[in-house]
A and B are shown apart, each in its own frame.
Chain A
Amino acid sequence: MNKIVNDFSITVGTKNGSGSSTANNTILRSVFKMGIPVSGKNLFPSNIQGLPTWYTIRVNKDGFIARQEKSDIVIAMNPDSFARDLAAVSPGGAFFYADDIRQPITRVDIAIYPMPIKTIVKNDPNVPSEYRELVGNMVYVGVLAQMIGIDLEKIRAALTFHFKGKQKPIDMNFNALKAGADWAAENLEKKDPYTLEPMNKTDGLIMADGNTAAALGSIFGGVQFAGWYPITPATSLAEALNDYLPVLRKREDGKHTYAVVQAEDELAALGMAIGAGWAGLRSMTSTSGPGLSLMTEFAGLAYYAEIPVVIWDVQRIGPSTGLPTRTSQGDLIFTHYIGHGDSHSVILLPGDVYECFEFGWKAFDIAERVQTPVFVLSDLDMGMNQWMSKPFEYPNTPMDRGKILWEKDLEEIKGNWGRYLDKDGDAITYRTFPGNKHPMSSYFTRGTGHDEYAKYSEEADTYVQNMERLAQKQITAKQYVPAPILHGNKNASVGIISFGSTENAIFEAQSQLEGQHDIKSEVLRIRAIPFTKEVDAFIERHDQIFVVEMNRDAQMLQILYTEYPQFSSKFKSVAHHDGLPASAKWVREGILAKYEAASKAPKAAAKKKTTTKAATKTKSTKAAVKSSTKVKKTATKTAAKSKSAVKSKRK
């Protein structure tokens, strides 16, 4: 049989709450330590115990580690999902199952491996009976390790990390795993092609989840206050603050330079964070969609009263409670216009775990510089799953605390200032903090109409002037937000715009499109709203731009339509919203469905078709194909003319 080396997907089906996450993380981490590019995605239910849950691992020597919509190897530990799990194995694949599950196995096109998990655990005198189920999970890791060739020493390293060096649980788990491996060596004959061989492609990389990275980044950003309320999938972000703040901000006198408060709800969580931000602290909250809905009124206050605060939204799929444990990019439009009345938010869009760290500290600089709430939109996939990453880097710029007046500053200007007085012409004004003892320092903050000196005002001119300044401030913000990342290709015939966690899927799709369909593309990953000049340039130079996102209504596309109405006919939506992490398959198929070869779109064609429909109806391939016959009218600039200022920062 031909071997397939370092290129396959594994799915483990277990019962929620059975303790399989240690086992699954162990597989992921040991493959990573073997130097092979790998990803792990937990596809779990909103439940504590009992419902089926899956963990998918993608191993790929070329670094394509997006979720795959197939499972070459399936490990079935849950009778409730057994039939489904069996059916999911790719033809020619491998099926491992706990042999106490007695259900019919009808497939003959795959390798079948029963595992006597209960017997092996029972026979191990070192495993107390109450640990049998937990440790039983390690047996399948052992069997799998033996059959595909996971290095047991790397497994030991993974367990040592997981149990923080505590020898007893390390030994108990490792011994069970070893028993599984030994049993497999004696009793199973390899009948499938999937094997692992060590590489060096993960050298120098770390493995972390985005919520931890966000918390760490926030700590390096000097976070001083966090108000939060538990919600999946954001909870672990605040918990990571509690874990790491005492370590990283330890002082000799044992005193604290920060406070983390678990609030009574999301309204209070943001309310507290805004109070702290107003009073001069680097302040944040973390939540997900439903929490953000509750925070809306406060977000509007922070916008209008110009109070810096950082709001992490680890997106899950809505509307309403939605699928609480599934990922999404569905909060983009909501966040962009959050609050009643006219408002625009500054939004940061990290694309991976590294950027969760980086934007963790940068968000404070931007919020305090621009004096506005800054939303950072992560998602469940990035936030809760372990990702390979470049090591985190120390902030490369000093903290930017923005325009602040303390006693000596007020002394110099003889107390002559106004909270909302635009002295510098950049629409950003000066602020003072409670505790400032200068008699002219104070002002009265309000969500009601106010003049340049923060006095209550219902004057029409004053209102308009203030709102125009706020609009101007959004333009000023462009110079402070992160520029997009361009993955350029001089020969590209199409452009792809993306944001957030979809990049791995896009790279893989890109490679398939080029290899199998001769479609060359380049990708611009947007990292912030408002859009910077690099986005303008990219849109100008492409005739056909696919906007890839994980939501139903093509939310990024809608914002692009609004910001670039003159180019609206260039955009095509590739939107997907099943709550699962992005896959190359849906990106590729989405692009192919709407791709317009040069010959298919003769310039002479005169018929006009609406393009907005294509944006919102991504489900139907028919609709998509229809829209692809539209005429390119506005795209007159040549690709050669525009030269991107964006540099690909990360290779």
Chain B
Amino acid sequence: MNPAAQSYIHEARDLLTQLEQMLLDLETEASPEAIDSVFRALHTLKGGGSMFGFPALSAFVHHFEDAFDRVREGKIGISKPLLDAALEGRDHVIALLDAGGDEAATAELVGSDQARRILAALEGAVAGAPPAVVRLARWEVSFRPSKGALRCGMRPDLLLAELRELGDCRVRCDVSDLPVLENLDPAQSHLGWVVELTTAQPRAAIESVFVFADDADPRIVALDQDEPPAAAAPVEMPSAETPATAASAPAAPARSAPRAQTMAGQDTVRVPSAKLDSILDQLGELVIAQARLNQTAARLGDSTLEGLVEEVHRLVTGLRDTTLSVRMLPIETVFGKFRRVVRDLSTELGKDVVLVTDGGETEIDKNVLDRLSEPLVHMIRNSADHGIESAADRVAAGKPAQGRVRLAASQDAGEIVIVIEDDGRGLDHDKIRRKAIDRGLLAADARPTEAALAQMIFAPGFSTADKVSSVSGRGVGMDAVLSAITGLRGTVEVTSRKGEGTRLTLRLPLSLAIIDGLLVRLGPDVFVLPLIAVEECVEFDVTELTRNSGRRMLRIREHLVPFVDLADALEGTVENDGRRRVVIVRAEGERMGLVVDDILGQHQTVIKPMSAYHADLDDFAGATILADGTVALILDVAMLLRRLGGTGISLAA
């Protein structure tokens, strides 16, 4: 495929992503700007399609462009059927793009029942659309420039022209102050104007005409009794015409959001992510080489060399941060997708569910983001399907009929925290217990804590939904989610209050390639624990030991924490029997102490995957090269905890 067509496909995909958001926005607020953006996006899609070898796509989009042109002109209004058809049409366009110009595949799509159905739905929506609601209002706008205004650069003709752009004008000129000819000073202003303006624009738009003409004493009077409330009217003006905010806040950019987006688009360069990956790989090597250089310089003790090394260190650190940031994308790019998921789910389940998002600007590594989207969809589906009750049940429980799923992202030190929270019925702990016993995941006499029970929803083959709906409930969901998140070296925790809702908390590393690690020593070997999993380090004190139902426990500030000797777990050797330390680690809602010989400190760790020969070593997530060139293994805390917990998922104390 030629590069131009390739870049059209990229652009079209971006545009389609935006289009989906715009359409969803229209559902809540159909401002003229929003309608215009949709139209422009469709127009660009269509134009590019016919130019770059996608005539079928272009022809298909044309129908929608046409429909939104009519909306734009105020001939028809926005309706749910129209938006439904447009959203489905958008999905179909993606399919057409996926066909990538292949004629057979395209022809099949064009002739498909799906395409016909969508176009029929569009036609129906346009035919049945309600007339556009344009609230025209009549205003009397009068102004009279001061005598010296013309000298100061005021142009009444331009003011009148601007008023005409707002709507229909009937202009009367007030000549009552005009002096007789012999007294007339042509450099002075003697005229006043009264304009009867009929417009859909709000008062603010009229006021903005007079931003630089406030000494013309403009008066704006609503002629109809019911002046349209400012909130209902589109407040943002097409910026090129009217800097509406110029008078009150001149520094505020008058650009509307879509324009800002396109401007940003022009400053960006598209790079295949494989190239970024290779830069990052080489950078990893550089970090390692730099660490070795550091050590060598320290050994040689040459101050000039040390100075240079320090400089190199600073540069490498800067380079690493910049490179990592290049790969960062705002999480919004996937959040957007979920609005659609929830909208479609609401329809499918017959529930009224709304998705609220927070912290969309939080940035996360592209690799993490790509692999995060699937599990997040699953969790959101689960929240909407299992979590949110039917409207009737909600009202009976004294809750608002509309269910709420909240998706929030934030950055917390070196990790990304994503919270998926619903205000639904909460987890039914009894039901989970019965089910777990049923499935043989739990001994009949076990008495796990509620937290441990909640964590059971992540067990393979576990599902408490009585009926299997098409949305979820086949029991393949949450364990897949857990393994996906674990694969990203992240953790999931679930908390729930009966009748109030369920909250899933995901913690993910910022990047997959470099992590902060804690170096621990065990005999002659050094291991790395991902810092994200480390809660605290304490001295190992034999007198604090307690035994509880057969397991060795450590008392840490009134809490009993099970612990294991890492040397036993890894069948390593203990060098000294003197002072030892315990690292408290946490994964999947469980805490455990790992006894080690010594803690060496923090280390920025470049992760090297294990070779195929070592792939079955579950305890390790990878390896890294230390400053002295030796290799250290990175412990996979979640796997280790699961194995050491003995009973798989239920690590309950």
Whether both chains belong to one complex is answered with no
Instruction: Mark A residues whose CB is within 8 Å of B.
Output: none
